[in-house]
Amino acid sequence: MNLKTVIMLGGMVACLGGATAYADYHVSFDFDSSWSGDYAPGWENTSYRHGAPPVGKMMEYEAGGFTGGGMRLIADSTPESWMWWAAVNPSNINYVAMQKQYNPWVSVMYYDQGWATEDSYNPDLHKAGQLFAVPSWVNPYIAPGEDWTDIQFGARMNQAPPADNYYYVAAGENGPGWQDTGVDRTTGWHQLKMQLSSVDGRVHFYIDGTEVGQSYRNDYIDLGDVGLYTMFTDPLSDWTHGKPSTIWDNFEFGSSVPAPAPVLLVMIGVGLVGWIKRRVA
């Protein structure tokens, strides 16, 4: 299957006022089944709040997945020549379940091709992949009342060796900008994961299961929208012998949701039937 939505019930424990059910909210895309069109089932092109977005297309990549099939994210077109990204995201997310108190997380397997170009005629062109999240606005410091909350984590196309490491950035007021994880990029499959902690309110970043940093912000109320980027040297028109792309597999997100049984039933209804559409920055 391409999409698996799982809400796993744990035990029922007695408490004052009734029973409490424990559940895990978990959505996974393994990209093992073929699809037609430009997007895998349950995915869409990521919008851009300041105008028309770049167009990313998801190509089936059967031979090169981490487990089974995989997905290649191609930067197909940009409405403006200065744009350096293309992004896609799952179209159906239970935003209630992705709130901070449930320790929400998102994870993906990324095939790092290193300091590579797909245009052999122009070695100055480079590309890289990033995992992203867009939490809800909490600090409207940008007139007329916007908060820039974008979080990005992964490789960067403009960091040449020997400083070719993995980076993360959590945008916001007085943000420190891109932070170096100190972890060298190496060719092959790597797990990128972020998790919003209910304990400290920060987003924690992991590479292959090891924590490599955390956001300077601790005011998030949810993890919000999540998705994938292909970043590339602009303009896209310079890529004349192959458009930039990145390779992915096993995209997952979820949380742990302890709740009284009646509330849990409502959340299951929201998660599987009444999906809430949300803005994407």
Instruction: For residue range 264-273, list pLDDT tens digits in order.
Output: 444 444 433 2
Q: What is the pLDDT of residues 253-262, one digit of tens each?
A: 999 987 554 4
pLDDT for residue 55: 98
Q: Where are the domains of the chain?
A: 35-94+105-249
More confident residue, 117 or 38: 38
Task: Give yes or no for residue 66 having a pLDDT over 70.
Answer: yes
Task: Find out if CATH 2.60.120 is the number for domain 35-94+105-249.
Answer: yes
What are the tens digits of pLDDT across the range 94-116?
A: 999 999 999 999 999 999 999 98
The Cβ of residue 196 has, within 10 Å, a number of other Cβ atoms equal to 29
Note the pLDDT tens digit of each residue in 134-148. Answer: 999 999 999 999 999
Q: With bands split at pLDDT 50, 70 and 90, how would you rate the model's confidence at 275?
A: very low
Whether residue 278 is predicted with pLDDT greater than 80 in this model: the reply is no
Average pLDDT value for the chain: 86
The mean per-residue pLDDT over the stretch 243-252 comes to 97
Quick one: average pLDDT of 41-58? 96
